[in-house]
Structure formats: structure tokens, C-alpha cells
Amino acid sequence: MKLLESARRILAEIRRNKQDNHETRLLIGSLLAKNINTSSSIQEAEFKVFSQFGDDGIIQLLINKLSLSSQRFVEFGVESYEESNTRFLLLNNNWEGLVIDGSKSHIDYIQKDPIYWRHDLKAVNSFVTAENINQLLSSNGFSGTIGLLSIDIDGNDYWVWKAITVVEAEVVIIEYNSLFGIDRPITTPYKADFVRTIAHHSNLYFGASLLALCDLGKLKGYTFVGCNQAGNNAYFVKDHLVDNLYTPTPEEGYRPARFREARDKNGDLSFAGYTERRDIIQGLPVVNTRNNQLEQF
């Protein structure tokens, strides 16, 4: 255990170092991944190699503990793919994957990265919507069962997951908006061209509540297995695969986001606290996903 804690500290220091070394990061991450089964919860398993927060560790725990039938992944909303949920999975476990992003410059960057020829990765430029997601997946060779799906598009996440029918992922990671709390099943209304920075100056009005996603997961045959400690990603596993996992209620698994990304009307970070961030978006329209009625946050 002391070795693993030391590895985590070294990994964190490497990420802070301006002379970052991806190969060293990968080596230490691989060491952590080989000992991940000692973790009793997904939060205890957390470490980050290329993920924004501790999701690399959670993913390693899940693929080690679950009897997955596929080693294929899909992730959309990846930007340059330098920081993502599946990069470590690609490099450490040699999975096959599809990544999608709305920026052509980001996709060009990925396709010029050496990982693009060293691994079975396809990078596609498209703005993902509920209307085009199934065609995007199937036309790029992804249908049926896949091992993992990661959704992070800062807006229509609920509606896009709901629309997906051509693939059935055994593990789903999806961003939730913790500011929407745990008591209401709500999401921002669907708008095909939704852009978070345009929808509201604060950058806080996006996505869905954890409860809305848990409801949708249940309808699709998934069990909620928890959130990362940062309070931005929720994890779902196909019902038949969860035997060896702790399965909290939405209330038990919910984590509030501590990161302070709110913007003022000039576009500058305001560093607003959790309660203040919630107050900023009070009164904005949301959809109750249980009755499809428009309400106010």
C-alpha cells in the first residue's frame, strides 16, 4: 500500500512538472493499474494519468473486476485527447477506440499524434447531436456491444445518451452537473446546437442532474456504481455485470463539484463557491425528465 501511495504522489508531481514526460506517467500508471483490485470503492481506486481527475484509476478498477466481453471504446468531447478518460485505456490496455470532437483542429492534432499509428484509434470531426450520434457510430464501424462509452459534451449529454441505440456499452461514464443537486431529475432543454459558453455567461448551465441520469440508466439496463470524487462524472455498469461491485443509491453516490469554473459577464473566472454557483443559475429553464415538463431551476 505504501508503494502505491508513493506512486500516486510521484504521478501527481510529474503532472505538475513543466518538463512533463508521458512515458514516465504511463509507466507509473501501469504500476498502479496492476494493483488496483485492492480498492474497495471506485473513489479509493482513483488516480490520473491522462484523465482530468481520478477517472483513469476508476476505469482500471472496473475493467479488472468486471467480465467485459469487448475491448472497444467510444469517447466524445475529447478536445485534443491529451486529457481524456480513454487515453490511458488505449495506451496501457491496447483497446480499440473511436473518439469524436466538434473541432477540426483538435482532430487534426490527434491524427498527427504518434499514438494514431501505434494504436487502433479512429478520430472523427463532428458536432455530436441526438440526431446524428447513431449514424456517426455505425458509419465508423461501431455497433453492438462495446466495453466502454464516455460522454462529455458539456450540454446535451442526457439527450444524446438517451438517443444512442446502435451500441450497447458495458460501462458508461457520463458527466453530470452537480449544481442541479440530487433531489430533482432535470436537464437543460434539448437544443441541437447547444454550446455551454453561449447558453449562459456563467458556464454553469449545462447537462443533467445525477438523478436524471440514474433514471435513464435504469431504463437502459444499467446500475449506478458511483461518481468520481471531483463530482463531475457518474459511472454506470450493465445490470448483469455488477455482482462484485458496491452499488450506492443516487443520494449515497452523489458528489458535489468543488472546482470553481464559474465565469463573470466579462468571461473571467469568478471563483464562486458551491452555493453561489447554484444561485447564479436559479430561474433558468430545465426539463423534468420524469414528466418531460419545462420547469425552472
pLDDT one-digit tens code per residue, 227-258: 999 999 999 999 999 988 999 999 999 999 99
Rounded mean pLDDT of 6-28?
Answer: 70
What gap in Å lies between CA 185 and CA 27, rounded to an integer?
41
Residue 29: its pLDDT value, please?
87
Q: How confident is the model at residue 13 (pLDDT cuts 50, 70, 90)?
A: low
Report the b/e string of 66-99 with b at 16+ CB within 10 A: bebebbbbbbbbbbebeebbbbbbbbbbebbbbb
Residue 18 has pLDDT above 60, yes or no: no
Quickly state the pLDDT bin for 7 (edges 50, 70, 90). Answer: low
Quote the pTM value: 0.93
Instruction: Name the CATH superfamily housing domain 2-296.
Output: Vaccinia Virus protein VP39 (3.40.50.150)
Residue 261: all three cell numbers together: 469554473
Cα atoms found within 13 Å of the Cα of residue 118, Cβ hemisphere only: 11
pLDDT cut 90: percent of the chain above it: 85
Bridging pattern class, strands 72-76 and 222-227: unpaired
Residue 272 makes CB contacts below 8 A (sequence gap 6+) with 260, 262, 280
Mean pLDDT for the stretch of residues 9-17: 66
pLDDT given for residue 28 in this prediction: 85
Question: Which residue in 161, 204, 210, 151 sits closest to 185, CA to CA?
Answer: 210
